[in-house]
Structure 1
Amino acid sequence: MGRRNIEPNSILSHRLILPLVCFASCGLVYALLSAVLANSRGRVSEFGRFVEDGAAAENDGGCCRGIQNLELWGAAVKWGSEFKFNDSQGCCNACKAMCSGKDGPCLCDTWVFCGDRKLCGSKFGECWLKKQKDSLAPERQEGAPPGEVVGWTSGLIFGKGEGIIGLETEYGTLHIKLLPDCAPHSVAYILELLALHHCAGCQFYRAESRGQSWDSEGNHIENAAFGPPYALIQGTLEAQGTTFNKLPVEDCPILRRGSVAWIGSGPEFFISLADHSEWKHEYTVFGSVLPEDMHIAEKITTLPTIADVWNHVNVTVLEKPVPLLLRRIQKSHVDEI
């Protein structure tokens, strides 16, 4: 994806069969060579960024990811000394099972697994399930000696009505459900921004409507082009005066209407106004806008823009960037996605 100039086919019988076999064999060889060459070349995405096809591809569906060498604290609801698994996914799923929403509020929002045999020793396999006082400000275990590597892997689970932040603009607040089980590093960064109580410099600077390519529900219209315009609003989430460290590529599902994803390793991001199956698995998705707030994103695409070209891609840039303010959203919007 482009940045602001800074930077997804009988004797007669034998005589007849032989040409057919040769033709089929040649076709198969051609197809294989084409696939190899296509994968080796990669392509330039609709955002002007070179992308190797298939790089960072992930399966769509549920996630169970955590952050290695991190021990989150909190009140234990399941003691790990008596609760063990062979891998972190089992521990994560155990926490999710206590946060299904069928039995009221989440009983577990944090899982901590010890998966390094050398560092964990007798604690290897322990799975601690915990509950935070504040899920948007999880407690860390402090006090480890300098340079000591922690053998624990920790992850968060946000239940219904939890893990929602607001991107406040003059046109309304976009409520975003964060996805820590799919993009834990990304969500950790967002929570750090949230703790600053400001986001000076955060803004939307590019806006493109769905045009004639997608309907109001984000479905691509048959035989229509895939842009421009590209059905998105793009901005940056980097507070002035803070040091930004590139984020790792995490879960990259097919983009849907409302998906919130990083451009490369951030801090530039975009909100998709349509389903973008043509971009395949290119972007880390760390959140999703609640459906009832998508009209705010659509409103931003109607603001005055200026045509520009980024890396040979036609884009439209807002004449006046729209400032963003990150704010906490306490348990609400229970009908979120």
Structure 2
Amino acid sequence: MGRRQTDSEPTRWVYLTLLLMGLVSCSLVYMFMSTVLRPTSKIYSFSEENLAMEGGGGVEGCCRGIEGLELWGAAVKWGTDFKFNSSVECCEACKKMCSGTDGPCLCDSWVFCGNREACGSKFGECWLKKQKDTLAPERQEAVKTVSWTSGLIFGRGEGIVGLETEYGTLHIKLLPDCAPHSVTYILELLGLRHCAGCQIYRAESRGQSWDSEGNHIKDASFGPPFALIQGTLETHATTFNKIPTEACPLIRRGSVAWVGSGPEFFISLANHEEWKRSYTVFGYVLPEDMVIAEKIAELPTRPDVWNNINVSVLEKSVPLWVRRIKTSHGANVRANSVS
């Protein structure tokens, strides 16, 4: 009796073909999943956030105003026919009129009456307005008690001031919807036409802890150096009043923030997630000007100790001048001397 033939030759080739197709399919699936699930480090920069902020917004969710302030200006929405339950809703309505990418906003200021007792029949009124000069907004000064809350919105190319140094001008995009009290103070400095006493006195590079994009290098220390330049925006011409804590997002490369309640401030050269949400951020340095901040961070320094922390203090402080910035349809900016 002959041996039983278990598989014919054609059937054997079919099995081999199916096996090969299965191996190829598994390899393709593995490559796809490896690509999708591979850990990546996200690069945070002002330019990414700038796409949103230049359209009239600041840090996501910011819609703050100043109580007891009534801004004047040409009305684009009359509050008698335009009412809301909160100042946030009024602010957001203004932002919706500032979503373009090619110039100033149709609405750059809002005024809301939110005190039911003081406002009476005006309670809930939301006036959307347009300023002649967003860096010098008109306000009601005659009345002692103001029942209104007001805020500013800066569109693309608007709300940019210059911190001029001998090494170049740092163009700062201000965030009035996130830090209205802070921005009001900066605008007051513009009104004084000088900033005698303003200076940068501390400078620390990124060292070996952060890369050129501001990302922290794995297993590196968090300083010193601490990747920042620090100074003061207090002028000899006025008495500085402490600024209340406002929006405190994570510090990113380019963030301009107060140390405590000011007037000490710093510009971050790196992304500092380790600092959590500890500082009021009132602006961002435009990305093309970060080379100036980096240049200042490399100036000669001497070591010092502040509250048991090793810091680097500039051998020669860098004076600052606050400048207005001329704009062209919100696109190009250049410094315009005002002192």
Could you say what secondary structure the match of 2:119 adopts? helix
Q: Following the alignment from structure 2 to structure 1, what is the Cα–Cα distance between the partners of residues 266 and 232?
A: 8
- 1:143-162 map, 5 Å: 143-144=142-143, 148-162=144-158
- 1:86-235 map, 5 Å: 86-102=85-101, 104-144=103-143, 148-235=144-231
Amino acid at match of 2:190: L
Q: Following the alignment from structure 2 to structure 1, what is the Cα–Cα distance between the partners of residues 269 and 285?
A: 10
Q: Is residue 331 of structure 2 the alignment partner of residue 334 of structure 1?
A: yes
Post-superposition offset of 1:306:
0.3
- Once superposed, which parts of structure 1, at least 4 consecutive aligned residues long, lie more than 6 Å away? none
1:104/1:314 CA distance change after superposition, 3 Å: closer
Could you say what secondary structure the match of 1:329 adopts? strand
Q: Following the alignment from structure 2 to structure 1, what is the Cα–Cα distance between the partners of residues 60 and 71?
A: 25
Amino acid at match of 1:68: E
Post-superposition offset of 1:62:
2.7
**1:104-150 per-position Cα deviation (integer Å, ceiling 9, x unaligned):** 53100000000000110000000000000000000001321xxx421
Scaled by the length of structure 1, the TM-score of the pair is 0.80
Q: Is this contact kept in 2: 1:162–1:330, CA < 8 A?
A: no
Residues matched between the structures, number: 274
Amino acid at match of 1:189: Y
Gaps of 5+ in 2: 1-58, 334-339
Q: Following the alignment from structure 1 to structure 2, what is the Cα–Cα distance between the partners of residues 279 and 183?
A: 19
Identity %: 77
Amino acid at match of 1:99: C
Q: Is this contact kept in 2: 1:204–1:236, CA < 8 A?
A: yes
Q: Following the alignment from structure 2 to structure 1, what is the Cα–Cα distance between the partners of residues 213 and 193?
A: 34
Aligned residue in 1 for 2:305: 309
Q: Is this contact kept in 1: 2:102–2:331, CA < 8 A?
A: no
Q: Is this contact kept in 1: 2:178–2:247, CA < 8 A?
A: yes
Using the TM superposition, name which of 236-245 and 314-323 deviates more. Answer: 236-245
Aligned residue in 2 for 1:81: 80
Q: Following the alignment from structure 2 to structure 1, what is the Cα–Cα distance between the partners of residues 250 and 282?
A: 12
Gaps of 5+ in 1: 1-59
Q: Following the alignment from structure 2 to structure 1, what is the Cα–Cα distance between the partners of residues 123 and 107?
A: 21
Q: Is this contact kept in 2: 1:209–1:302, CA < 8 A?
A: yes
**1:194-222 per-position Cα deviation (integer Å, ceiling 9, x unaligned):** 11110001000000000000000000111
1:86/1:321 CA distance change after superposition, 3 Å: same
Larger radius of gyration, structure 1 or 2?
2
Q: Following the alignment from structure 1 to structure 2, what is the Cα–Cα distance between the partners of residues 258 and 106?
A: 24
Aligned residue in 1 for 2:256: 260
**1:137-183 per-position Cα deviation (integer Å, ceiling 9, x unaligned):** 00001321xxx421100000000000000000000000000000000
**1:238-280 per-position Cα deviation (integer Å, ceiling 9, x unaligned):** 1113100000000000000000000000000000000000000
Q: Following the alignment from structure 2 to structure 1, what is the Cα–Cα distance between the partners of residues 215 and 103?
A: 34
Q: Following the alignment from structure 1 to structure 2, what is the Cα–Cα distance between the partners of residues 250 and 209?
A: 27
- 1:15-94 map, 5 Å: 61-94=60-93
Q: Following the alignment from structure 1 to structure 2, what is the Cα–Cα distance between the partners of residues 175 and 141?
A: 30
